[in-house]
């Protein structure tokens, strides 16, 4: 079953990895120098996404989840709030350390160094395996074998992305600026790769659901959001200054009362892996 349903997040959101290789860089290291911007400026996820995952896990199964490619713990926090025991699997030491600082006081959060294709988790230890903003870095067929191993019978898989929506004039202007970056289209295309998603689920049934999401940014917030992306040149790197000039020009042309709205659709692919 592969259907699409559009829903709106139940409450507005505040402004509050890693398998396939990038030329010249281990993809597990892409975010090592972006942790602070990632924590401060990346979006969270609509509450309805977590509600849907809870509803999909059969009630007789334990509330245990593997957050694979867990990064700084953004999605793990939502799972913990829904009563899950959470195993955060993250290969990047800087990202993993941030999650441990943020969630270390929660006894139901267990941080693990591991890759999506080799989590080092025990057999049949979780009822939910989820990857939020991360699956495009993984090798789908290797993940399917590994996730089948760690899921209990009847366990559920969820893939989640916040993907930009281009309906507004500002978002169209932002897209035009990003299109000039050499890696932007390749990374964006990976997030929309239906073949990789199908390869993970195999012959298993899954459904695609969509939820509206957004952030509101002033100029420093927008700058931080952009710099949290792995394909954006950091200060001192070629192209950085020109990018910031073009981005600020777009911000100034479209801001209202000193801010712009950054629109997303949050896509959840949820279902079961084939045997």
User: What 3-state class would DSSP assign to 68?
Assistant: strand
User: Distance between CA atoms of 10 and 212, rounded to whole angstroms?
Assistant: 9
Residue 101 is assigned to a structural domain of this protein: yes
Q: Quote the DSSP letter at residue 69.
A: T
Q: What is the pLDDT along the chain (275 residues), one digit of tens a residue?
A: 333 333 333 332 232 233 333 333 444 545 555 688 889 999 999 999 999 999 999 999 999 999 999 999 999 999 999 999 999 999 999 999 999 999 989 999 999 999 999 999 999 999 999 999 999 999 999 999 999 999 999 999 999 999 999 999 999 999 999 998 988 887 777 666 889 999 999 998 999 999 999 999 999 999 999 999 888 988 889 999 999 999 999 999 999 999 999 999 999 999 999 87
Interior CA angle at 22 toward 77 and 115, to 5°? 40
**Residue-number span of the structural domain to which 40 is assigned:** 4-163+192-213+264-271
Residue 113 is assigned to a structural domain of this protein: yes
Residue 125 is assigned to a structural domain of this protein: yes
Residue 50 is assigned to a structural domain of this protein: yes
The residue with tokens 């009563």 is: 83
Q: 2: which residues sit within 8 A by CB, 6+ positions away?
A: 205, 206, 207, 208
Residue 71 sits in a domain of what CATH number? 3.40.50.150
Q: Which of 163, 206, 209, 200 is nearest to 52 (CA)?
A: 209
Per 3-state DSSP, the chain is made up of helix, strand and coil in percentages (nearest 5) of 35, 25, 35
Interior CA angle at 15 toward 110 and 268, to 5°? 60
Residue 250 is assigned to a structural domain of this protein: no
Domain count, the chain: 1
């Amino acid at each position: 079953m592969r259907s699409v349903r559009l829903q709106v997040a139940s409450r507005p959101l505040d402004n509050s990895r890693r398998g396939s290789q990038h030329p010249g860089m281990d993809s597990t290291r892409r975010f090592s120098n972006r942790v602070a911007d990632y924590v401060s400026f990346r979006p969270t996820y609509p509450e309805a996404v977590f509600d849907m995952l809870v509803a999909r896990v059969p009630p007789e199964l334990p509330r245990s989840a593997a957050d694979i490619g867990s990064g700084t713990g953004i999605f793990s926090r939502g799972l913990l709030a829904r009563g899950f025991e959470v195993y955060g699997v993250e290969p990047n030491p800087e990202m993993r350390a941030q999650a441990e600082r943020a969630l270390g006081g929660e006894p139901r959060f267990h941080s693990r160094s591991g890759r999506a294709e080799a989590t080092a988790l025990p057999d049949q230890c979780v009822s939910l395996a989820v990857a939020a903003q991360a699956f495009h870095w993984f090798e789908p067929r290797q993940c399917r074998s590994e996730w089948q191993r760690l899921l209990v019978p009847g366990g559920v898989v969820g893939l989640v992305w916040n993907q930009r929506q281009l309906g507004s004039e500002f978002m169209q202007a932002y897209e035009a600026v990003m299109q000039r970056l050499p890696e932007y289209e390749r990374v964006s295309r990976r997030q929309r790769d239906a073949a990789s998603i199908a390869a993970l689920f195999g012959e298993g049934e899954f459904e695609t659901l969509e939820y509206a999401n957004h952030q509101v940014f002033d100029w420093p917030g927008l700058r931080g959001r952009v710099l949290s992306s792995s394909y954006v040149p950091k200060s001192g790197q070629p192209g950085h200054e020109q990018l910031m000039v073009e981005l600020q020009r777009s911000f100034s042309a479209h801001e209202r009362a000193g801010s712009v709205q950054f629109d997303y659709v949050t896509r959840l692919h949820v279902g079961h892996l084939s045997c």
